[in-house]
């Protein structure tokens, strides 16, 4: 995180915020899928969902970095006051 010394506001790159949101949604879906897999007896599905969620987050971060590039990603920042 970069600190703006004049205003005291932290700036977080939007790409990482998006990856964090995607991770939270993936965990929620994984827990729901795990409950369904446990009820049906197919617990092997949990590992597949975990691998798919991990691949989705990694693909989103790498794809965002490649599509937006560092020049555009530097302009897209979310300001969060702490």
Three-state DSSP class for residue 11: strand
23: CB partners within 8 A, 6+ apart? 53, 57
Report the 10 Å Cβ neighbour count for 73. Answer: 16
Is the pTM higher than 0.85?
no
Confidence band (pLDDT; 50, 70, 90) for 8?
Answer: very low
Structure confidence by residue, pLDDT tens digits, 34-82: 898 889 988 888 888 889 989 988 888 888 777 766 555 556 565 666 6
Structure confidence by residue, pLDDT tens digits, 24-43: 998 998 899 889 888 998 88
């Amino acid at each position: 995180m970069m600190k703006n010394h004049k205003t005291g506001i932290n700036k977080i790159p939007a790409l990482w915020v998006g990856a964090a949101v995607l991770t939270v949604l993936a965990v929620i879906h994984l827990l729901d899928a795990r409950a369904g897999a446990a009820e049906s007896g197919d617990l092997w599905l949990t590992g597949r969902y975990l691998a798919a969620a991990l691949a989705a987050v990694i693909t989103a971060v790498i794809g965002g970095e490649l599509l937006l590039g560092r020049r555009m990603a530097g302009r897209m920042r979310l300001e969060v006051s702490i």
